[in-house]
């Protein structure tokens, strides 16, 4: 994992205080305060830079990221890596794998395998998954290798999903309906008047006799949002018994995070990544 970030000061930033220059590049106030306490935490052209000092055009500002410790047990396993550099790791998670350790799954999670992989590479970073897919949902998971990257990419990643739902969805559309927990369950979400705002957009890709393949993207990222909203419309996901779907043809909810796009937190380069639909979902639409 990199422990140094470098920024070259453009002409239009000359004379700006270092604090505001760094905040404009995605460093939080908390992180800047922590860097002030680190030896050589903030330098300009190799010399100590105070946050009240003004930056100079063409100067190179270096930031020494604080060391963090990992507290997840490393477990050897296979990762389907779609993209990786010093700051980001994106993997295509298979279904039936939890992202984070929980009471029932302590060592068989994506976090455990990523911890082993990172240590093998000499990159002992804290596991930060910026999108938390359900255990049975497959697809892309974006992992930030340091807190700066996580902060910069928070709510800044456009993700699209594939879902196979029961019934023939007539048109593309949007669901704008608040969701929340009910008194009957601590897990199942429902559309409720006093719930949290939730907006889901969907587009019909293919229609069969008794199913539809949809592409979906979210304005809000609530737990079970796609599953809850499609059930609310009367089109639950195949395999999603929790929300009214049938497991006759697939033994998990037919949901896959298929693509994501974002601006790289350090270089600013536009990054677009995709992962093909898994075989169990492909069979649902090829056999109909």
Q: Which residues are catalytic?
A: 134
* Backbone phi and psi for residue 218, each to the nearest 5 degrees, phi listed first: -115, 145
Q: CA angle, corner 147, sides to 109 and 145, nearest 5?
A: 50
User: In the 8-state DSSP scheme, what is residue 58?
Assistant: T
Strand, coil or helix: 56: coil
Q: CA angle, corner 160, sides to 198 and 277, nearest 5?
A: 130
SS3 content of the chain, % helix, strand, coil (to 5): 20, 30, 50
Strand order in the sheet with 42-44: 4-8, 60-64, 42-44, 47-48
What's the rounded Cα separation, in Å, for the pair 220 and 159? 11
């Amino acid at each position: 994992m990199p422990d140094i970030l470098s920024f070259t000061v453009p002409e239009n930033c000359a004379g700006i205080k270092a604090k505001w220059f760094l905040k404009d590049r995605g460093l939080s106030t908390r992180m800047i305060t922590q860097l002030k306490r680190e030896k050589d935490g903030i330098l300009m052209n190799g010399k100590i830079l105070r946050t009240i000092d003004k930056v100079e055009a063409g100067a190179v500002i270096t930031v020494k990221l604080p060391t963090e410790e990992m507290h997840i047990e490393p477990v050897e396993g296979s990762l389907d890596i779609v993209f990786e550099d010093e700051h980001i790791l994106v993997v295509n998670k298979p279904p039936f794998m939890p992202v984070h350790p929980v009471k029932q799954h302590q060592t068989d999670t994506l976090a455990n395998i990523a911890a082993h992989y990172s240590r093998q590479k000499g990159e002992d970073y804290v596991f930060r998954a910026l999108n938390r897919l359900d255990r049975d949902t497959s697809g892309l998971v974006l992992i930030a290798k340091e807190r700066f990257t996580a902060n910069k990419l928070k709510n800044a990643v456009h993700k699209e999903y594939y879902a196979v739902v029961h019934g023939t969805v007539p048109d593309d559309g949007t669901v704008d309906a608040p969701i929340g927990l009910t008194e009957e369950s601590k897990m199942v979400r429902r559309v409720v008047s006093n719930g949290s705002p939730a907006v889901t957009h969907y587009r019909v890709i293919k229609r069969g006799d008794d199913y539809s393949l949809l592409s979906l993207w979210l304005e809000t990222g609530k737990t079970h949002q796609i599953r809850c909203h499609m059930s609310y419309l009367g089109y639950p996901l195949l395999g999603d018994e929790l929300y009214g779907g049938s497991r006759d043809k697939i033994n998990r909810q037919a949901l896959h995070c298929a693509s994501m796009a974002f601006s790289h937190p350090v270089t600013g380069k536009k990054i677009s990544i995709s992962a093909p639909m898994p075989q169990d979902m492909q069979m649902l639409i090829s056999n109909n």
